[in-house]
Structure 1
Amino acid sequence: MQQPITGFHQDEEDHWVAELACGHNQHVRHDPPWMSRPWVTTRTGRESMLGYRLTCKKCEEGAPADRSLD
C-alpha cells in the first residue's frame, strides 16, 4: 500500500527514518549500490520528498502503527 511521507527522524544509530501518513515508520538509507537515495543525505533533499509515496509493507501486513497520529 502506498503511503505519503509526512516527516523524518533519525534512529538511535543516526539512520534516517521516514514517517508515513499511516503512522508507520520506514528506514530510508542511502547505501549504494544496494539502495540509491542520495536525497536522504541533505535536509533539502528530505524536504523535497515530503508527500512522496512509499510502499508500506507494515500496512499490507496489518501491523499496528509505530506512532500515534494525534
Structure 2
Amino acid sequence: MERQIVGFHQDDVGDWVAELSCGHTIHVRHDPPWSQRPWVLTEEGRRRFIGYWLTCKECASGPAANRKEPVT
C-alpha cells in the first residue's frame, strides 16, 4: 500500500529512515550500487521528498502480519 513520507530520522547506525503517514517506517539508504538515493544525504534532499509516496510493506501484508503474538 502506498503511504506518504511525513518525516525522517536516523537509526542507531546513522542510516536514514522514512516515517510514513501510516505510522510505519522504512529505511531509505544511499548504498551504491544496491540503492541509489543521494537525496537522503542532505537536509534539502530529504525535505523535497516529504509527501513522496512509498510502498509500505507492513500495511500491504495486512493486520495478521503485524501481530506480535503467534496465531494458534
Query: Normalising TM by the smaller chain, what interval?
Result: 0.7 to 0.9
Structure that is richer in helix per residue: 2
Normalised by the size of structure 2, how large is the TM-score? 0.85
Per-residue Cα deviation, 1:16-40 (whole angstroms, up to 9, x for no partner):
0000000000000001111000000
Q: Which residue in the other structure is 1:42 paired with?
A: 42
Q: Which residue of the partner structure matches residue 22 of structure 1?
A: 22
Q: Tell me, what secondary structure is at the counterpart of 1:22? A: coil
Stretches of structure 2 lacking an aligned partner (at least 5 in a row): 68-72
**Structure 2 match to 1:59:** 59
**Residue of structure 1 equivalent to 2:70:** none
Greater relative contact order (CA < 8 Å, ≥ 6 in sequence): 1
Task: Normalising by structure 1, report the TM-score.
Answer: 0.87
Q: Which runs of 5+ in 1 are unaligned?
A: 65-70
Identity of matched residues, %: 59
State the SS of the aligned residue for 2:17.
strand
Please say which structure displays the higher CA radius of gyration: 2
